[in-house]
Structure 1
Amino acid sequence: MSIWWSLHLRREAASVPLARRLLLGTMETAGVDPDVSYDLSVALTEACANAVEHGGDTAHGSSSGAYRVTAYLDGEKCRIEVTDSGPGFARPHPRPLPARTDAEHGRGLCLIEELADHVHIGNNPGRDGAVVSFDKILKWREDAPLMAV
Structure 2
Amino acid sequence: MSGMELQKHEHYMRKCIGLAELARQRGDSPVGSVIVYNDTLVGEGMEGNKTQNDITFHAEIEAIRSAVRHFGKQDLSDCILYTTHEPCIMCAYVIRHHHIKKVVIGLMVGKVGGISSRYPLLRDHSITVWGKPPELVNGILEVECRQLKG
Task: Give the alignment's TM-score, normalised by structure 1.
Answer: 0.32
The structure, 1 or 2, with the larger RCO (C-alpha pairs under 8 Å, 6+ apart) is 1
Higher strand share: 1
Higher helix share: 2
Task: Give the alignment's TM-score, normalised by structure 2.
Answer: 0.32
